[in-house]
Amino acid sequence: MKQSRQEVIIQIGNAMADAEYATEVEDAGAMFTLLQLAYGKLEVAMDMLLDNNPKLASPLSLKTETVTQKLDTLADINIKTVIQEAQNIIYEDREKTYGHPTKNINNIAEQWTLYLQQKYNNGEDNNAFSISISAEDVCWMMVDLKKARQMNSGKRDNLVDAIGYIGLIERIG
């Protein structure tokens, strides 16, 4: 079914708007999704053009394959990058800054335990409230913090950090 020139132009304009918005988004996952959406709209526009002019089939199919390959590569990079970045953070960046995570996470566990005991024992020494937070508990609670933030406002940093805290469980174990 032949499409009007105006319909093709509108479809291309919608794809361009999605692509432009993708460049303004900081979250890599959202950016990738928007680029996929833009590409889908471009595919529709290309189909419309092919319906109107079958001679374009060969050049357009070559362009389509190139764009598809680039999107597939971007998807692979996006998935690997989050995991690789978390690994880099827990094995290099943070360790250089704060030292081995076992000491740091154990210090956090002790501080949180002390805080809770002082708060809920009302300053008394009777230890009515007895709790001990472990280093692994700290990691899981930090994962929960990152999950809560992600539910409120999805950001790549939350994913990287959550993966990093899960990775720390193995390092401190």
One domain for residues 66 and 116:
no
One domain for residues 28 and 63:
yes
Which of 80, 113, 134 terminates a domain? The answer is 80
How far apart CA 79 and CA 72 sit, in angstroms, is 11
Residue 104 within any structural domain of the chain: yes
- Residue-level length of the chain: 173
Q: One digit per residue, pLDDT tens: the chain, 173 residues?
A: 566 667 766 766 676 676 676 667 666 666 666 667 767 776 776 676 666 666 655 554 545 556 556 555 555 555 557 888 888 888 887 888 888 899 999 999 999 999 998 888 876 666 667 889 999 999 999 999 999 998 888 888 888 899 999 999 999 98
Query: 3-state SS string over 84-122?
Result: HHHHHHHHHHHHHHHCCHHHHHHHHHHHHHHHHHHHHCC
Q: Which of 80, 78, 134 is nearest to 105 (CA)?
A: 134
How far apart CA 110 and CA 126 sit, in angstroms, is 19
How far apart CA 97 and CA 38 sit, in angstroms, is 41
Residue 91 within any structural domain of the chain: no
169 burial (CB, 10 Å; 0-12 / 13-18 / 19+) is middle
Residue 95 within any structural domain of the chain: no
Count of domains observed in the chain:
2
Domain carrying residue 162: 100-172
Model confidence, pTM:
0.54
One domain for residues 42 and 73:
yes
One domain for residues 123 and 61:
no
